[in-house]
Structure 1
Amino acid sequence: MITTASTTPATRTSTRKTIIGTGIGNAVEWYDWAIYATFTPFIASQLFSKSDPASAVLSTLAIFAVGFVARPFGGFLFGWIGDRIGRKASMTLAVGLASVGSLMIGIAPTFAAVGAWASLTLLVARLIQGLAHGGELPSSQTYLSEMAPKEHRGYWATLIYTSGTVGILFGTLLGAVLNMTLSTEVMNAWGWRVPFLIGAAMGLYALIMRSRLHETDVFEGEASAEKRAPIWPQIVRHRKQALQVIGLTVGLTVIYYIWGVVAPSYATTALKIDRGEALWAGVIGNIVFIAALPFWGKLADRIGRKKVLWAGAIGAGIMHFPMTALLKDSAWQLAVSMSVMLIFIAASAAIVPAVYAELFPTSIRTVGVGVPYSICVAVFGGTAPYLQQWLGTTVQMPQLFNVYAVLLLAISAVFVFTIPETKGKDLTL
């Protein structure tokens, strides 16, 4: 539980509601990523033509990327709602829409039954989820940052990736359990649908929890004239901060997708590691990641944001090639390489939600983060699994993708020089 020594019972209750309401919705979004990546082979075999399995997998990954195209639109829409109507309203609507997308995938007809309509249903569902996910992160991290004590905002910010990783971990564990208990025939018939139906139910629960949250004092205290100020002129005025969000995100989003999201699936499809063993290795790596997050969050509250961001980007860049070389043909190699990489990735992941919020004023904070962040994730994060698969299996030049990832980390490290040190910043100013 994230608390301080002087917390009163009433404040503890409010803190608990904030953590649960913010965390559960964020977990649902990341759970959606994990199960799509984990169950890609089954989705490909059921919602695309079986005549060319390799093409079906690439098409499934392409729709994973296409879903990210909707994220910038979601960042603007839900950012506008968050900055005009309220952080709570934006968070609640976003998680509700995401659950609709999960339900659509869970009940989608197969390619054998309706042909290309099955693929189209998947595409529409991912676009809906992309729209919702584009608004989820900026809304939830803005809400959390404004609710946090300024002296502990870096620590509180770790809830975003902690809850998100719990969602990924749950999705990965579910995949491992289903893989162990159900036959391949049953998985192909209906087993692969179970995680998406669970995701829809979790989204409904998150919607109810978020509807009970209180709006942040920072937002409610903002002058009415400021809140009515046109959005676009403010976005233009804060274009430097928007560019900084993109620069700080570009390396993190690609390296995180590589090692935190798609590594077990890639190990299965490209390296032929047993599916169940790869999923359990992914569980180990994500547990290490969760354990590392609060360490970096507390450290950033003590020594500052910039030093921690540099440690994460430089450390991940240095270790990427050795860990990639280690990963060859066994699950223990996957567990070790994921764990080492995720320790360094955790440095940036722990505090960027706070850093983003600290770059913008209250009147533009949600949309100011949401639009550039979503654009960056759509262009670089959404395409990462496809590029990795294509360069590794089709072009047979996997090292090109590794060079690409490390160069993006270098760009993020350089951008750290451009931001001010915001440790302990008062967000009402």
Structure 2
Amino acid sequence: MLTLALDSASLSKRQVIVATTLGTALEFYDFTIYSFFAIQIGQLFFPSASPVNQFLLSIGVFGVGFVVRPLGGIVIGAYADRVGRKKAMVLTIMMMALSCALIACAPTYAVAGIAAPFIVLAARLIQGFAAGGEFGPGTTLLVEYATDNTRAFFASWNFAATALGLALGAVVATLVNVALPKDAVLEWGWRVPFLLGIVAAPAGMLIRRRLEETLTHTSSGTKRPSGALKAALTTHLKLTVLGTFAELGGSVSVYVTAFFLPSHGVRALHLSPTSAVVSGVVSSLMLFAAAPLAGRLADRFSRKRVLVISRVVLLLSVYPAFAMLGAHPSMLMLCAVSAFLAIFVAGQIVPVLVMIPELFPKDVRATGIALTYVVSASFFGGFSPFIASWLVAQTGNPLAPAWYVAVACAVSLVPVIWLRDRTGEALD
């Protein structure tokens, strides 16, 4: 028989949130840092290729992390449902620290030859696997720690942590590039942000070890649950499918607004690279601030109400926002549009993020989140910047990505009809 252990006396609520979300923030910090230094990594690890191919190979290695994220989510999610959320979270943060260390200390091609890019590739595989496995156990633990009236607020912090990681990554990368000469950045400066990523891991592991496990097993001799993945794909298949498509709108929206829009401002609107970096930081900080607010509103006014209102507002406003930016391109307008859209992106992601674990039983919960959120983010979200760029190239219309976001939001409204809203109800 399974029971929930909710005695969190050893840690305050604030410490529980920090301990749980630190790994998620580290994941997206590492994500951002690699993308900012993709050019230097390409030059050092793929020197025999042309400059264009150096960049493409570097980005290709970066993209491998997306490929293994669903696998990590499924494997570590099932592990969390079998042996506990706490053990799974300690494992993922250790793997993230290892990936940062491998990249930070990796010998270049000039030193290690063909082994050099394979070391970076291995690091990205580990990081992607751990990143995929981080979100399910982390969100599950937050939901199970919370009271019936604070579950959305607690869960919101795992999404807020992704935004904080993005903002910190952009700030650290900017400081390195501003503080060091170009040659120093290429020679050793690009390693510094990865070294900083390692520092946060031991602190996270120490705090996470103090967490009370929310999934415990009685000593009655019953076997621990197994087959969480099978249950999610058979007994709970309808919920898994509905949850994945309910997440679609949020996944597409966040990747287009947070990742595509800043670079779109540089390529299509001829704004400066500084404008892209600043708008990226502004968007991330707005997501960080809006997520807990969305959680509070979802706890008070119901998940579906906040979700539907936010999704409909974003659907109706994304095209006018893109059009206004196209008509008045400037760093200020790019930041304003990014910040405005970020509010409603958070408003549609957070309610779904808590609705899904509320509907899965506790012995399938972490796996269920992995199959819905991680798969949706990896496939629908991860390919969104590419699809948005392709639409601009094919149509010649810089506003085409706005239609893509609007369609994704409209499609993902449909499965919400069949999702039960459990606002204020007992979890188990």
Note whether the superposition's TM-score is higher than 0.5: yes
Residues 177, 343 of structure 1: alpha-carbon distance in 2 compared, 3 angstrom cutoff: same
- In structure 2, give the amino acid aligned to 1:363: D
Aligned AA (1:335) = C
Secondary structure of 1:349's counterpart equals: helix
1:129 aligns with 2:127: yes
User: 8 Å contact 1:285–1:339 — kept in the other structure?
Assistant: yes
Q: Which residue of 2 aligns with 1:106?
A: 104
| Residue pair 1:327, 1:333 contacting (<8 A) in 2 also | yes
* Equivalence for 1:304: 302
What is the correspondence of 1:2-41 to structure 2 with a 5 Å cutoff?
11=9, 13-41=11-39
State how far apart, in whole Å, the 2-side matches of 1:389 and 1:45 are.
25
Aligned residues: 419
- Tell me the residue number matched to 1:184: 182
Percent identity between the two aligned chains: 31
Aligned to 1:3: none
Shift of 1:225: 4.5
**Deviation sequence 1:8-48 (CA, Å, 0-9, x none):** 9x848432331221121221112122223333343344333
Q: In 2, Cα distance between the equivalents of 1:274 and 1:191?
A: 23
2:3 equivalent in structure 1:
none
- Do 1:289 and 1:342's aligned partners in 2 also have CA atoms closer than 8 Å? yes
Which moves more between the two structures, 306-315 or 285-294? 285-294
The corresponding residue for 2:271 is: 273
* Alpha-carbon separation, structure 2, partners of 1:227 and 1:200: 34
1:227-238 counterparts in 2 under 5 A?
227-235=224-232, 236-238=234-236
1:30-69 alignment runs, 5 A limit: 30-49=28-47, 52-69=50-67
Check conservation: 1:65, 1:386, Cα contact below 8 A.
no
Partner of 1:162: 160
Tell me the distance in 2 between the aligned counterparts of 1:124 and 1:392.
Answer: 34
Note the alpha carbon deviations across 1:283-313, whole angstroms, 9 max, x for none.
2222222222232212111221111111222
**Which whole-Å deviations, capped at 9, do the CAs of 1:39-69 have from their partners, x for residues lacking one?**
3343344333475434443443333332111
Partner Cα separation in structure 2 for residue 73 and residue 233 of structure 1? 14
**Quick one: distance in 1 between partners of 2:394 and 2:50?**
14
Q: Which residue of 1 aligns with 2:356?
A: 356
Match of 2:289 in 1: 291
Q: Contact 1:255–1:405 at 8 Å: present in 2 too?
A: yes
In structure 1, what is the Cα distance between the partners aligned to 2:341 and 2:298? 19
> Cα offset for 1:360?
0.1
Q: Spell out the pairing of 1:91-102 with structure 2 (5 A cutoff).
A: 91-102=89-100
CA spacing shift, 1:221–1:406, aligned 2, 3 Å: farther
> d(CA) in 2 for partners of 1:117 and 1:397?
43
Unaligned 5+ segments in structure 1 are: 1-7
1:315 aligns with 2:313: yes
Task: Tell me the secondary structure at the aligned position of residue 199 of structure 1.
Answer: helix
C-alpha contact 2:244 2:371 (8 A) present in aligned 1: no
* Equivalent residue number for residue 4 of structure 1: none
| CA distance, structure 2, for counterparts of residue 29 and residue 321 of structure 1 | 31
Structure 2 residue identity aligned to 1:231: A
Residue pair 2:388, 2:400 contacting (<8 A) in 1 also: no
Unaligned runs of 5+ residues in structure 2 are 1-6
Does the aligned pair in 2 maintain the 1:150–1:426 contact within 8 Å?
yes
Q: Where does 1:277-426 land on structure 2 (aligned, <5 Å)?
A: 277-327=275-325, 329-389=329-389, 391-392=391-392, 399-426=399-426
* 1:187–1:238 distance in 2 versus 1, CA, 3 Å: same
Residue type of the alignment partner of 1:425: E
Matched, 1:173 2:171: yes
RMSD over equivalenced CA pairs, Å: 2.8
Does the aligned pair in 2 maintain the 1:250–1:412 contact within 8 Å? yes
Counterpart code for 1:278: A
Distance 1:182 1:355, change over 3 A: same
How far off is 1:341 after superposition?
A: 0.8
